Amino acid sequence: MLSKKTKYGLKALTYISRTKSDSPVQVSTISKSEQIPQKFLESILLTLRKAGILGSKKGKHGGYYLRHEPSEIKMTDVMRVLEGPIAMVPCVSLNYYEKCDDCPDENKCSVHRLMIQVRDNTLSVFRNTTLEDLSNE
């Protein structure tokens, strides 16, 4: 299941991306428009900022803005920040690999081989989708 954190994060990014304005977008604005609890959203946008995806401006008339063009923000990056590893098991994770305690030989593990296929398919979707794609329509 996709966490609400990820869902809210994606919606917020989409919102900011669609807002074609020079001034940064405020948390309260996004919160109201997308029906996201404000304090929760605050913490999510903070995470995205710390990951380098968003930038922020403090104080009055402050807010958040994209650090790069929407077409250059890949879903692989966004998903890893918000949801964590893309793989369903650590033993097939590219970025967070971990050996299974039980499994003596990964190549002979049926679960391993199945999950590699799922990972590759999911990865290809996220690699080929940018924030620009999400923001269209």
R_g (Cα) of the chain, nearest Å: 17
Q: Is residue 49 part of the contact set for a copy of itself (CB under 8 A)?
A: no
Q: Is residue 121 part of the contact set for a copy of itself (CB under 8 A)?
A: yes
Q: Give the contact letters, 12-41, x = binds to DNA (CB under 7 A), - = no.
A: ------------x-xxx--------xxxx-
Region near a copy of itself per CB under 8 A, out of 24-32, 49-57, 61-69, 85-93: 85-93
Cα separations in angstroms, 68 against 73, 89, 113, 117: 7, 31, 36, 31
Q: Is residue 3 part of the contact set for DNA (CB under 7 A)?
A: yes
Nearest distance in Å: CB 74, DNA: 22
Can you tell me the distance from the alpha carbon of 9 to that of 27, in angstroms, rounded to the nearest whole number?
12
Residues 6+ apart with CB under 8 A from 87: 93, 94, 96, 115, 119
Number of CB atoms found within 10 A of residue 63's CB = 21
Q: Is residue 58 part of the contact set for DNA (CB under 7 A)?
A: yes
- With CB under 5 to 8 Å by kind, the binding choice for 113 among DNA, a copy of itself, none is a copy of itself
